[in-house]
Amino acid sequence: MDDCIFCKIARGEIPSAKVYEDEYVLAFRDINPMAPTHVVIIPKRHVRNMNEIALLSEAERLAVLSACEKVAALEGVAESGYRVVSNCGPDADQSVQHLHFHVLGGAKLSVNLA
Ligand code: AMP
Ligand code: ZN
């Protein structure tokens, strides 16, 4: 997608603080962190959100999910704990229309999910 900010990050047209990358996935630090560890994980191929996850291949879906675990380990929060969040649509305040997963940790997180 030409005008998608996360596609531009995936193509290297906008800089990001990369945490992890493989063939299918890029993970980078959120520009407005809400926890000491706040990493955004995206499939490199554009789909809008969880409603379109079936458009990704099985390999892409597995890579995105596996990247959450890898990022948690790389960030040193695997044992202390972390949260994986994907905002989907208006009620969830999805602000970037490219599927992404937030990995949040490094501190005791709020119990409020909604
Ligand atoms: P969401 O509200 O779930 O759509 O989350 C989008 C996230 O992308 C927000 O937490 C933003 O801070 C983050 N974000 C937007 N632009 C950038 C960027 N250029 N680099 C890193 N994170 C970004
Ligand atoms: Zn995109």
**Cβ of 86 below 6 Å from ligand 1:** no
Residue 1 pLDDT exceeds 90: no
CB 78 within 8 A of CB 63: no
User: Could you tell me the pLDDT band of residue 60, with boundaries at 50, 70 and 90?
Assistant: very high
Question: For a substitution probing ligand 1, which of 11, 28, 40 has the most ligand atoms within 8 Å of its CB?
Answer: 40
**What is the residue-averaged pLDDT of the chain?**
97
- The rounded Å distance from CA 80 to ligand 1 centre is 24
* Superfamily the domain 5-105 falls into: HIT-like (3.30.428.10)
- Domain parsing of the chain, residue ranges: 5-105
For the chain, percent of residues with pLDDT exceeding 90: 97
- Catalytic (active-site) positions: 100
**Cβ of 37 below 6 Å from ligand 1:** no
Contacts of 49 (CB under 8 A, 6+ apart): 86, 87, 88, 89, 94, 97, 99
- The rounded Å distance from CA 110 to ligand 2 centre is 29
Burial of residue 58 (CB within 10 Å: 0-12, 13-18, 19+) is: exposed
pLDDT digits (tens, 9 = 90+) for 17-59: 999 999 999 999 999 999 999 999 999 999 999 999 999 999 9
Among 52, 45, 64, 59, smallest CA distance to 94 is for: 52
